[in-house]
Structure 1
Amino acid sequence: MARRIKRRNGLTKQDKTAPKFPDLVKRDFTAAAPNLKWVGDMTEIPTECGQKLYLATVIDLYSRRLLGAAMGLHPDAELACAAITMAVAARGGRQAIWRDEESERVIFHTDRGSTYTAKAFTTLCRTVGIRQSMGRVGSCFDNAAAEAFFSSLEWEVLSRNQFRDTFHAQAVVIDWCYTFYNHQRRHSAADGLSPVNYEIRESKTKPEAA
């Protein structure tokens, strides 16, 4: 029987009174080094019990490595903050990604949803030294790299599983994210290697980014 792709519902709800951030990526989903450009988004994961689980992501465009994968019952700023906190920790903490020059700080690109314009989230980004970037309203192509991750998740995980509850969903999805996606899944953007293997190879052939 053919697998059915579970299309996610749009989670983007714009707060028109919130601060606006320019598009610093402009559909260039490449990066010459780690911690130059990150992208992220949220998706919902249905379960048989009727309760939905939400996943917030942070992906480094350098290797397509998933740095943050926070899961919770609400697609809110708290979940987005958790994903960024995980990403910063994965890269060695604030001191490892901080740049004195604001123009050189890591870019985090998302949609214009209220989740990413909430005060708690924008404050966290400023505190850890992240510049926010946002695509246009209603344009999935402006955040295509983040959308591509969810397409892979939908095809390789969600369409092949029926989750009993949120605990079951979280166990399966997190295992795929950190065990398979980061360490085993090959990416054309990572020279045909997994994100982790690509970073390991490149760290041996290039000087470490300042």
Structure 2
Amino acid sequence: MVISVSAFVSGATPYTNHLTPPPVLVADAPRQVWCWDITDLPGPGRQRFKLFTMLDLYSRCVVGHRVEHHESRELAAEFIHACLASEGVSPRVIHADNGPAMRASTTRDLLTRLHITASYSRPRVSNDNPYVESLFKTTKYDRRFPERFGSLDHARAWAEEFFTDYNTRHHHEGLAGHTPERVHDGSWPTHHEHWRTLKNAYAQRHPHRHHRTPVTHEPPDTVWINPPHQLSQTA
């Protein structure tokens, strides 16, 4: 199930800072909702490269990325096409911030032609695209992140290595310790059962340390942007 609400949640008080309604999105499986954004990477001197990143809301898997000298509506369209081709399927919703490349008529027309709903953050609201923002923070706080990239090729090579590692080896706290790739391709239950078996066996061997059967948490059933209960509490 995917929800993209273009009006205030029933009973919620309109926000005082904006008249724009909050995006309300939920995914209960991979490839339903994607989120994307563009951030700066420091290059030589005063140069700033542009990192395009597309994230699957449910699995947190990075389904596409590219680094360019600049951002443009043409590059945005190419990026979206590349992500769709890589996954071989179209999500129902693609969510983004309000940058020029995201709001460009060519981008919106492209999504309309592909029968994909375009969703946008509220103006000047930083937490309407929280999962991509969190990913960018993880990227830039990584110990391998250089003070500056020496060239565009350097930035592209680094991003390729980092996101491959992130998808395949990063044990994500929000996914109960599973990697984004395992949740995205549906293989996580096999690993989960292995973990559960090991934890239970360890507890049986050391009963003085475990007074009850250990719990092996699973990834969440649904992932939200602006869940209704949160909006009603903060409105």
Structure 1-normalised TM-score?
0.72
Q: Could you say if the C-alpha distance between residues 167 and 50 of structure 1 is closer, same or farther in structure 2, counting changes exceeding 3 Å? A: farther
How far the C-alpha of 1:77 sits from its partner, in A, is: 1.5
How far the C-alpha of 1:41 sits from its partner, in A, is: 0.6
Residues of 1 paired with 2:67 and 2:60: CA distance? 19
State the partner residue of 2:43: 47
Deviations 1:115-162 (A, max 9, x none): 112122112212222111111111111111110110011101674453
Residues of 2 paired with 1:35 and 1:70: CA distance? 19
SS in 2 for 1:153: helix
Given candidates 53, 56, 60, the residue that maps to 1:57 is: 53
Structure 2-normalised TM-score?
0.65
Deviations 1:41-89 (A, max 9, x none): 1001111244321111111111001111022111221232232112211
Given candidates 170, 180, 185, the residue that maps to 2:165 is: 180
Residues of 2 paired with 1:49 and 1:118: CA distance? 30
Given candidates 178, 181, 196, the residue that maps to 1:196 is: 181
Q: Which amino acid in structure 2 is aligned with residue 43 of structure 1?
A: T
1:74 aligns with 2:70: yes
Aligned residues: 171
How far the C-alpha of 1:198 sits from its partner, in A, is: 1.9
Gaps of 5+ in 2: 1-19, 191-235
Q: Aligned-pair RMSD on alpha carbons?
A: 2.4
Residues of 2 paired with 1:107 and 1:182: CA distance? 21
1:98-113 map, 5 Å: 106-113=92-99
Check whether the contact 1:49–1:165 (CA below 8 A) recurs between aligned residues: no
Given candidates 162, 178, 202, the residue that maps to 2:148 is: 162
Given candidates 21, 32, 54, the residue that maps to 1:36 is: 32
State the partner residue of 2:79: 83
1:120 aligns with 2:106: yes
Q: Could you say if the C-alpha distance between residues 148 and 182 of structure 1 is closer, same or farther in structure 2, counting changes exceeding 3 Å? A: same
Q: Choose 1 or 2 for highest CA Rg.
A: 2
SS in 2 for 1:183: helix
Check whether the contact 1:66–1:182 (CA below 8 A) recurs between aligned residues: yes
Identity %: 27
Q: Could you say if the C-alpha distance between residues 79 and 189 of structure 1 is closer, same or farther in structure 2, counting changes exceeding 3 Å? A: farther
SS in 1 for 2:70: coil
